[in-house]
């Protein structure tokens, strides 16, 4: 079976394109009493960014806490708050921030029209009703969350996305200027998420021409940014992120992402840095990618945390192994149909204990 996947229908790209947001939204404002909800990463709270947001009288602006990865209870709380605002559904949800805010915005727009808790929808194609119109405006480049059909959430039992065609943004605004104030280490971790997406897609067994074309271009852009000090680095990394997202949309990620999900669930280590920590130990699976990653790390002068599993509780370690092993398509993509023989629990445990 070939996957018939949905892509973002409207994209605007370029430095300064954020200024067109007001125009874009004005077409979506239904009547005088309706409102838009801006979910903005709290990194912008004490800056003058608010003055650039096209807020109208009844609109809501909610600063989004991204100190940890998005949790299902946080989504449920935001949905309640928005529902109470005017007792009508908003005309749109506009998410402005990194991958976490992208995912929160997608999830909130879905949960405004689907009953129950967001935890009920972690999985594949469980969403029944289409979402409220939603717009994604990334302020970090790398996750590909702007392109993907998933909103990754940590719930009481699992870290798993709400995967559905309804999850996909209706509009994205790719304005590289918005990424320019990001701290250098965060820019590196999120950028490496993209680089690792490319390595895992391009070496995977699910690879096909569609995924290869996007993946190769995204990788070239990452190399330009992180090895060759590209002049237009913010533009290039933003397009790399989108292309990387398109590449994995039609293939899959691999060993590094599976281990990183476990690190996040068990130890609360965030996606970008978790990928970097895990990838450094995956030379046997991705020799060229890991060698190049280390060069990029050296140029960016990034020191990765070590010894994170030194005194780890055995129950937590077991949970991490279960989470990692549960991501079957990732292992199959990386290691082929016989992946279970190649990757028994003990081998994952060994890898985790090295970190």
User: What residues make contact with Zn ion under the rule CB under 5 A?
Assistant: 193
Residue 302: CB minimum distance to ligand NAD, A:
14
Instruction: Name the minimum Å distance from CB 185 to Zn ion.
Output: 17
Which one of Zn ion, ligand NAD, none is in contact with 103 (Cβ closer than 5 to 8 A by kind)? ligand NAD
CB-CB contact of 248 with 193 (8 Å): no
Q: CB of residue 29 vs ligand NAD: minimum separation in angstroms?
A: 27
Which residues contribute to the site for ligand NAD (CB under 6 A)? 41-43, 66, 69-70, 97-101, 103, 139-140, 142-145, 148, 150-152, 178-179, 181-182, 186, 190, 193, 270-272
Nearer to ligand NAD, 41 or 59 (CB): 41
**Sheet strands side by side (includes 123-124):** 123-124, 159-163, 150-154
| CB-based contacts of 213, cutoff 8 Å, min separation 6 | none
Q: Are strands 123-124 and 134-138 parallel, antiparallel or unpaired?
A: unpaired
Cβ-based nearer residue to Zn ion, 17 or 167: 167
Cβ closest to Zn ion, residue 279 vs residue 352: 279
**Binds 290: which of ligand NAD, Zn ion, none (CB < 5-8 Å by kind):** none
For residue 344, report the phi and psi dihedrals to the nearest 5 degrees: -70, 165
Residue closer to ligand NAD by CB (options 242, 286) is 242
Shortest Å, Cβ 221 to Zn ion = 16
Going from the C-alpha of 340 to that of each of 235, 275, 282, 321, 351, the distances in angstroms are 40, 22, 17, 13, 16
| Closest separation in Å from C-beta 178 to ligand NAD | 6
Closest CA to 153 of 235, 71, 94, 252: 71
């Amino acid at each position: 079976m070939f996957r018939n996947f949905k892509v973002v229908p409207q994209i605007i790209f370029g430095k300064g394109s954020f200024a067109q947001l007001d125009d874009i939204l004005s077409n979506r404002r239904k009547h005088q009493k309706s409102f838009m909800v801006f979910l903005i990463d709290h990194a912008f709270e004490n800056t003058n960014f608010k003055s650039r947001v096209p807020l109208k009288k009844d609109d809501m602006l909610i600063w989004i806490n991204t100190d940890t990865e998005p949790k299902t209870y946080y989504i449920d709380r935001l949905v309640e708050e928005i529902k109470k605002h005017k007792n009508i559904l908003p005309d749109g949800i506009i998410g402005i921030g990194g991958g976490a805010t992208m995912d929160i915005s997608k999830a909130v727009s879905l949960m405004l029209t689907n009953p129950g808790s967001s935890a009920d929808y972690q999985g594949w194609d469980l969403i029944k009703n289409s979402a409220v119109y939603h717009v994604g405006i990334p302020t970090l480049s790398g996750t590909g969350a702007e392109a993907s059909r998933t909103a990754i959430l940590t719930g009481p039992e699992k870290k798993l996305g709400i995967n559905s065609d309804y999850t996909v943004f209706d509009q994205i605004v790719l304005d590289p200027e918005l990424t320019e104030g990001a701290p250098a280490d965060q820019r590196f971790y999120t950028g490496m998420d993209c680089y690792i997406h490319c390595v895992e897609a391009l070496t995977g067994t699910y690879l096909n021409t569609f995924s290869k074309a996007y993946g190769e271009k995204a990788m070239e852009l990452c190399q330009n940014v992180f090895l060759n000090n590209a002049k237009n680095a913010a533009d290039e990394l933003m397009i790399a992120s989108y292309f990387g997202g398109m590449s994995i949309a039609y293939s899959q990620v691999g060993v590094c992402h599976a281990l990183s999900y476990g690190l996040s669930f068990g130890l609360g280590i965030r996606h970008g840095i978790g990928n970097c920590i895990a990838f450094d130990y995956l030379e046997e699976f991705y020799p060229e990618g890991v060698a190049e990653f280390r060069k990029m790390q050296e140029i960016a002068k990034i020191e990765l945390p070590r010894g994170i599993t030194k005194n780890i509780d055995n129950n937590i370690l077991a949970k991490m192994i279960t989470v990692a092993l549960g991501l079957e398509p990732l292992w199959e993509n990386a290691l082929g149909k016989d992946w279970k023989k190649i990757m028994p629990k003990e081998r994952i445990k060994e890898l985790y204990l090295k970190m």
